[in-house]
Amino acid sequence: MQRDFIHMETCTLCNGKFRFGRGIYDGRRVAKWSISVCRTCEIANQDGVVPSDRLVEHLNAQGVEVTYNDRGWIDLPARSS
């Protein structure tokens, strides 16, 4: 009997693992930032992501211009339509 393979991604924000594929998507890829974000972090950071050194360094390395909202946090890019 063949075992079903479950693909897991690592959330860039919390470093936790989440299922991503075969009809189960517990997070999303943020293509503009070249990261993956779990559903929990996406919901918890709807008003912006606290700018950790690691995230800001990653975004700078990707050539992403880091802009801060009124709270001084970084807004996650919207989901593609």
Q: What is the mean pLDDT of the chain?
A: 91
The DSSP code for 61 is: H
Which 3 state secondary structure label does DSSP give 29? Answer: strand
Q: For the chain, what is the total number of helices (H) and then of strands (E)?
A: 2, 5
Reported pTM: 0.84
3-state secondary structure of 68: coil
pLDDT digits (tens, 9 = 90+) for 16-30: 999 998 889 999 999
